[in-house]
Copies of this chain bind each other. A is one copy, B any other.
Amino acid sequence: MIGPKKFMLITLGEELLLGLTRNGHLTYIGDQLRQRGVTLHSNYTISDEGDDILDQFRFCWDRADIVITTGGLGPTVDDRTKEAVAEALGETLVFDKRVLETIEERFARLGKAMSANNRKQAFRPENAEVIPNDRGTAPGLWLNKGEKVLIMLPGPPNELEPMFENQVLPKLEALKYIEDQENYLQLRTIGVGESQLETDFQPLFDNYENLQIAYCAHQGQVDFRISYPGTENRMDQLLEIAEICKKQLGNQFLCLGHHSVSEVISNMLKARGKTLALAESCTGGLISNTFTDISGSSEFFLGGIVSYSIDAKQDLLDVPEGMIQQYTEVSQEVAVAMASGAAEKFESDYALSITGYAGPSGGTAENPVGTVYIGLHSPRDIWAKRFQWKASRASIKVRALNAALDLLRNELIAANSADDGANQDLHKEANNILKSLS
């Protein structure tokens, strides 16, 4: 690596500013560069107004080594990026016959008629190289200007992402503008606050000269990243420090790197050859979806029942009708019965159940909106726990997901330690419920 290069990303599109579409390009490109030892310096999201593009592009071009733009290469009149950038760089736009032919071929292959406005997409700055786009009509562009590079990519993610991976990254690697690995180490913790973490670990970090630490808090989860800024790779030393942190954190250590709780659970289950099933009511498939996002999840995940109606709880999970009448469907008793039902129906080792009021309507005086019961069936035992949150419907679903995963993760850790004394009270309570069931 010649020295760290400064990458800036300009994402164009009013829909991003109107909150109608997520800025997925920032996440994607940031992630791709991070995996190659580069931290994206900054991201600018602006609309398709020509003057604003010009102003912003000049700001970035003055300060960056590599400027990447996404979007604004479409066929419609509001796509004006190329014109603005060409003006800023003093480039002439030329008509590229070969690009037009590629677009025409594409339409012919799909058996569709090309609109006249697609011709617009065949213009490119004079000195720019075309980055072919196999999945759409707008080609990307690569322009070297002095020591600087401009990369322009189309907006649709299914076009941009293969172009970035198969064409842009290899070119950047050949120029030694990116590395082949990350240059920092991330420790993911769970159940401990950001300021507490800093208080606990700063004395340790103070022993290491030039060590840089960055904290990032999610809901109930705090990451900290350690690195030695500069060009030299000192991963061995970072791993040594991480090992000390890991020991000090105990159960609060989730993983090294970027794994989610569901991935950590998935690895534990696969390593032990154990299986999982779900019975979801208020989370409505969210937890199933989280596990099935993991490639290879069919090794341990047998399936789930989304029992959104009372009938489904009775007919598909064998929750006794009388129990629902006595305790209502949002109760510790029903959560236990749902977990037990799921484990039986799928013949799984572990089963999680979730029943609650995600709102905004529903709920009772005793169990208002935001009340969620989570049941867990394990080979050792079965129990349920009550949670209550004040939050939006979407947020309650996510919190229930996190709480359920946390219960399961702790049970998997506990199941591995012989003299585990935790969860004693919950076990007693669950045994009482079980007795009332039989």
Contact = CB atoms under 8 A, between A and B. Distances in A.
A156 interface: yes
Q: Chain A's interface: helix, strand, loop or mixed, by majority? A: mixed
Interface stretch (A24-32, A320-328, A409-417): A24-32
A217 B29 CA distance: 20
A174 B295 CA distance: 51
A310 to B, nearest CB: 10
Contact of A19 (B13, B27, B44): B27
A211 B29 CA distance: 35
B52 A42 contact: yes
A102 to B, nearest CB: 15
Interface in A273-300: 278, 280, 282-289, 291-293, 295-298
A278 B258 CA distance: 32
A22 B23 CA distance: 7
Contacts of A302: 308-309, 311-312
B31 A19 contact: yes
Given A284-B289, A302-B309, A41 B15 contact: no
A76 B13 contact: no
Contacts of A194: 74-76
A397 interface: yes
B32 A19 contact: yes
A115 interface: yes
A349 to B, nearest CB: 13
Interface stretch (A233-241, A388-396, A420-428): A388-396
A24 B219 CA distance: 13
B19 A395 contact: no
A78 interface: yes
A285 B258 contact: no
A166 interface: no
A17 B193 CA distance: 23
| Number of copies of chain A assembled together | 2
A355 to B, nearest CB: 12
A136 B259 CA distance: 26
Given A78-B213, A312-B302, A16 B32 contact: no
Interface stretch (A87-95, A195-203, A429-437): A195-203
Contacts of A196: 115
A56 interface: yes
A239 B311 CA distance: 43
Interface string A2-22: 000000000001111111111
B15 A216 contact: yes
A51 to B, nearest CB: 11
A180 interface: no
> In which size bucket is the chain A interface?
35 or more
A39 interface: yes
A204 to B, nearest CB: 14
Given A42-B47, A394-B293, A19 B23 contact: no
Contacts of A16: 26-27, 30, 43
Contacts of A293: 284, 393-394, 397
A115 B311 CA distance: 51
A438 interface: no
B305 A316 contact: yes
Contacts of A249: none
A309 B298 contact: yes
15 contacts: A19-B26, A19-B31, A19-B33, A19-B40, A22-B23, A22-B24, A45-B45, A75-B198, A278-B306, A280-B285, A284-B288, A285-B304, A285-B306, A293-B397, A303-B307
Given A298-B308, A302-B312, 7 more contacts: A41-B46, A41-B52, A158-B395, A286-B292, A295-B393, A296-B361, A303-B309
Shortest 9 CB-CB contacts between residues of A and residues of B: A284-B292, A19-B31, A285-B288, A19-B30, A285-B285, A285-B289, A43-B45, A303-B308, A115-B195
